[in-house]
Amino acid sequence: MSDALEQLLYLVAAVLFIVGLRRLGNPATARAGNMVSGLGMLLAIVVTLFDRAILSYTTIAAGILVGSVLGVWMARAVKMTSMPQMVALLNGLGGGASLLVSGAEFLRAELVGEQVPVDTGVTIQLGILIGAVTLTGSLIAYGKLEELITGRPITFRGQQALNALLFLAIVALSVYQLATPDPLLWPFYAVAALSLLIGVLLVLPIGGADMPVVISLLNSYSGIAAAMTGFVIGNSVLIISGALVGSSGIILSQIMSKAMNRSLTNVLFGAFGAQAGSTAKSSAGLAVQSVTPEDAALRLAYARRVIIVPGYGMAVAQSQHQVRELAELIERKGGEVKYAIHPVAGRMPGHMNVLLAEANVPYDRLYDMDEINDQFEEADVALVIGANDVVNPAARSDPSSPIYGMPILNVDKAKSVIVMKRSMASGFAGIENELFYDPKTSMLFGDAKKSLTQLVSEVKSV
């Protein structure tokens, strides 16, 4: 295959990615869009297999086979509730691949005694740095989401100074590497090792509830790492695709941090939620009213308008199917059910939407915060399932609260509120929620799945 033809076919692949991503933006065309994008990938891979530089196909065949089998198996086996972990892991592997390709390109040039031009050298170092940070950062995010390590921020004194120092060391080593004419290998390995370390250190201080931002950002890094690899091997399809992914991740992380009323810097370096129980307002002397499943079921059965507010607790209890069942029963009794989704509910952007889609809830019943916030006043019952900080009125009313200014769902405006919660433990931010002490709020304590199952059978018998 001639070089020109190869380049043109890569361009076709890039166009397929663009068309595919565009179609991913509409629920009706999204699935076909994903196929189009996949077709682009297939084309890019096939074109590459005809590259004249490729002499042996044994390693390639083995690698493709092992990777594809593992990938498809993971995609089939993963539970929808574990989707954030899955995406974190995939991000990490993408970053790892970029790290390996950049590294291999450097080693190849060193071994054959080829003089690496400075600009290629710079992109190699960048590819290694970003790829390594994506790899280890994603693995830490995975560990936090899978609860292999604590979801609370892990902080220590001088953490940011250490990160800055490590970063400076990486820059210094890279410059030294590029400036010395001798083929030196140790600075290369040192840069790789320090970059892997910095990835770990950057994600450790970020708390579980901030994961939607972190995953979006790592998604962006994996794209930028791919683009850097494109610079290294001089392939424009990598640069284009990498840039597309890079910008999509950045946009999502901006949307997420905006939904928390915090800057990206604050999310990344603020170690939010580090001091557990830093109560802005004391709950002393306030009483909550709990409600039995029977009474809650009665109120839901006779409600005309119900808004369901799912949160991470629904994902933890894996109770999305029971939620849908309950909603259908309420509708059969003549009520209307809508779902209110906060942008940062769950552990990744759109987490709740995927879970409810899995439970067969039509996507047009799911409303964004801006669409539904005015409708709470007319709701007879707002049913909060495992959500806390995103419904805390302190975000509107209490300037001393750490979450003050964060846009919230106006659950407190509903005529009555039922909150399903495990216990009175405070939410991720460690703040008391005055919604729970509101006279019109009833608490239904217990595991969300059990409570919902009870509610379903009670509503049935009303």
Which residues participate in catalysis according to the annotation?
389
First CA to last CA distance, the chain: 72
C-alpha distances in Å from residue 256, one per residue of 25, 219, 287, 302: 18, 13, 34, 36
Interface map 32-51 toward other proteins (x if CB under 8 A): -xxx-xx-xx--xx--xx-x
Residues 417 and 382: beta-carbon distance below 8 Å = yes
Stretch that binds other proteins, among 111-119, 201-209, 276-284, 296-304 (CB under 8 A): 111-119
Residue-by-residue DSSP string for 339-358: EEE-TTSSSSTTHHHHHHHH
Q: Report 280-299 residues binding other proteins (CB under 8 A).
A: none
- Copy the structure tokens of residue 242: 């990498």
Q: At what angle do helices 118-145 and 159-179 cross, to 10 degrees?
A: 150
Min dist. Cβ of residue 53 to other proteins (A): 5
If one asks whether residue 31 binds other proteins (CB under 8 A), the answer comes out as: yes
Angle at 350 between CA 348 and CA 353, to 5 degrees: 130
Identify residues 360-379 at the interface with other proteins (CB under 8 A): 360, 362-366, 368
337 belongs to the binding site for other proteins (CB under 8 A): no
CB 154 within 8 Å of CB 204: yes
Part in contact with other proteins (CB under 8 A); list of ranges 31-39, 174-182, 192-200, 421-429: 31-39
| All residues at 6 or more sequence positions from 406 whose CB lies less than 8 Å from its CB, including other chains | 259, 260, 261, 262, 389, 390, 395
Interface with other proteins (CB under 8 A), residue from 7, 8, 63, 176: 63
In terms of CB distance, is 72 or 171 closer to other proteins? 72
Question: Is 7 a binder of other proteins (CB under 8 A)?
Answer: no
Residue 59: strand, helix, or coil: helix
Under rule CB under 8 A, which residues in 419-458 are in contact with other proteins? none
Select 94 or 207, whichever has its Cβ closest to other proteins: 94
By the 10 Å C-beta count (0-12 exposed, 13-18 middle, 19+ buried), 39 is classed as middle
- Does 311 bind other proteins (CB under 8 A)? Our answer is no
Kindly state the DSSP code that residue 208 receives in the 8-state scheme: G
Minimum CB separation of residue 94 from other proteins in Å reads: 4
Over the window 236 to 265, marking each residue x when it contacts other proteins by CB under 8 A and - when it does not, the resulting string is xxxxxxxxxxxxxxxxx--x----------
- Coil vs helix vs strand at 45: helix
Least distance (Å) between residue 437 CB and other proteins: 30
- CB contact set of 422 (below 8 Å; sequence gap of 6+): 313, 386, 445, 446, 447, 448
* Residue 301 is a binding residue for other proteins (CB under 8 A): no
Residues of this chain, 403-422, that bind other proteins according to CB under 8 A: none
Q: Which stretch binds other proteins (CB under 8 A): 88-96, 162-170, 272-280, 286-294?
A: 88-96
Tokens matching residue 408: 């919230």
The CB density around residue 112, as the number of other CB atoms within 10 Å, is 8
353 contributes a contact to other proteins by CB under 8 A: yes
* Cα–Cα distance, 450 to 434 (Å, whole number): 25
CB of residue 6 to other proteins, shortest distance in Å: 11
Q: Is 20 in the site for other proteins (CB under 8 A)?
A: yes
State the number of binding residues for other proteins (CB under 8 A): 116
Residue 225 found at the interface with other proteins (CB under 8 A) = yes
Please report whether residue 332 would count as binding other proteins according to CB under 8 A. no
Amino acid at 444: L
Beta bridge pairs of residue 419: 384, 443
Candidates 81, 91, 257, 442; binder of other proteins (CB under 8 A) is 91
Near other proteins by CB under 8 A, which window of 153-161, 359-367, 373-381, 404-412?
359-367
Under the binding rule (CB under 8 A), the answer on residue 216 touching other proteins is yes
Per CB under 8 A, does 22 bind other proteins?
yes
Is 208 near other proteins (CB under 8 A)? no
- By CB under 8 A, residue 318 contacts other proteins: no
Three-state DSSP class for 259?
A: helix
Output the CA torsion sign for 292, 296, 298, 299. Answer: positive
Tell me: does residue 229 bind other proteins (CB under 8 A): yes
Q: Looking at beta carbons only, is 154 or 211 nearer to other proteins? A: 211
Q: Binding string, 149-168, against other proteins, x = CB under 8 A? A: --------------------
